[in-house]
Chain A
């Protein structure tokens, strides 16, 4: 924090970029502290009748708690620029021991009309920290507790799976699996997406109602019973789903993954339909969302949505425990085609790419 203030003072003295620096607000009892901050190439330039602020923050944080940090979420706001919204930067699959330091990069751009308001244009605050014992610290305004815990559950599932591969087939079996995962990652279609709330179709194509098909995962505590959404060209909006709790425990949150299929039979994961609810065992519920997703084309043939498939991607029970699909579930051909690897799998692939198989096995053995 001291160096950040020093840097701010230097900027003020030099008169350059004084309005660029963000305000970092951490609570007094925060389990992380800012050790240093570098705003290297940050600048603010006039762009017609507006100012364009380019902020590149490289922060060094220290775990000042007594527990290992597994994930962290920072809230980014610019109230005078976008009063209706906010951003966040989350780092998952961490393993930061007490008093260890770790980096955090935040790169953002603000386009704001002149005259710019005085004071820090951007505020950065802590939304939540997840520790290795699954305890949580933070205001949780963005639902970080659930996001970070889900990611940690996936990380544990995937490490266990990769370790089992080594135990069964040795390092070569692990290598094959990692290479397969990398291939799937490259083959997986990705699309840009735009979203507005309550929007209506802006396309010329006539709107039609399309029924969901469902991919039923055997162990899922939720039974998706039916659903539909309105489709017009490359826009999908207003999904309506009906689900039933087939477990013997009440459920308070669920997320349905949403796979779209285009005219040529190509499938891609469009997003998710989450729902906070209170669903007793055996009870049914309808989920409605009034938002529109649009998938602009990056050149080539314009996308035409032709079909939809839903699947249960996560469930939180009333007692706080979570259900996520197993590795066997993710191995079904349809999910394998569209699902991205988990955060942890991505990190492990990165270790394999940069340091090789032995480094990957050593990393797995740490846990």
Chain B
């Protein structure tokens, strides 16, 4: 059994844990006598401290305290007025677009939250989430098959009744075939073109093909 840390127990005793952690630690404490004693001891100590600090000091001068508080309040109001004057929009300029600023802040916060959530999400949960998204997508529009393009952009394949050419940067590799009625030209969208013919000498059915990339 793994016990919560002392800090977690202390936070639990002070009722300062987040909802999830509080539920988790409480669940452990309810079954663990050692931790339960520790939490109880911390709570007792906390109450003792509160009792000690709750007693007001002897010979407190209420008038002096009220004066100091009034002075602090006046100082705060004066500072607020000064800042308000500084921030007041000029009459000649464009009015501030608070809506856009707020939207920007919310967007940034969303990005930060999303990134933090993604980074901190444990691997199994991330896989589960991804597979759930994929399942939803597959049910709606099916799986997506797209082959990575590994060919150079400048490669051109061409097939005619005379030859089959692979051209790149002014260089050409051509596979030749005899002129024949039975030549079949074909192209595959995976990156190849082919010509099939019957070799008149050997009677063999031969297919020449050129490819633009790794198959």
Contact = CB atoms under 8 A, between A and B. Distances in A.
Task: Please say whether chains A and B are actual partners in one complex.
Answer: yes
A196 B168 CA distance: 11
A343 B210 CA distance: 19
B172 to A, nearest CB: 4
A91 B205 contact: yes
Contacts of B185: 190-193
B109 interface: no
Interface in B131-153: 138, 141-147, 149, 151-153
Contact of B171 (A82, A343, A344, A347): A82
Interface string A39-57: 0000000000010000000
B214 to A, nearest CB: 8
A354 interface: yes
Best-surrounded residue of B146, B163, B190 (most CB of chain A within 10 A): B190
A285 B142 contact: yes
A249 interface: no
A83 interface: yes
B188 A81 contact: no
B160 interface: yes
A30 interface: no
A42 to B, nearest CB: 12
A189 to B, nearest CB: 11
Contacts of A13: none
A100 interface: no
Nearest to B172: A111
Interface string A66-86: 000000000010100111111
A89 B175 contact: yes
B145 A198 contact: no
A257 B70 CA distance: 88
A271 interface: yes
Contacts of B138: 283-284
Contacts of B172: 81-82, 109-111
B209 A87 contact: yes
Main secondary structure of the interface of A (DSSP, over half): strand
B191 to A, nearest CB: 6
B170 interface: yes
B142 to A, nearest CB: 3
B22 interface: no
Contacts of B153: 196-198
B210 A86 contact: yes
Nearest to B164: A87
A346 B182 contact: yes
A285 B209 contact: no
Contact of A185 (B167, B170, B181): B181
Contacts of A277: 143, 145
Nearest to B160: A192
Given A91-B205, A287-B145, A85 B210 contact: yes
Nearest to B207: A90
A83 B145 contact: no
Interface in B152-204: 152-161, 163-164, 166-168, 170-177, 181-191, 193, 196, 198-199, 201-204
Contacts of B198: 346-347, 350
29 contacts: A76-B175, A78-B173, A82-B171, A84-B152, A87-B166, A88-B209, A88-B211, A90-B208, A91-B206, A91-B207, A102-B202, A103-B201, A103-B202, A110-B173, A111-B170, A113-B171, A190-B183, A191-B185, A193-B186, A196-B155, A196-B156, A197-B191, A276-B147, A283-B143, A284-B143, A289-B147, A290-B149, A347-B198, A354-B203
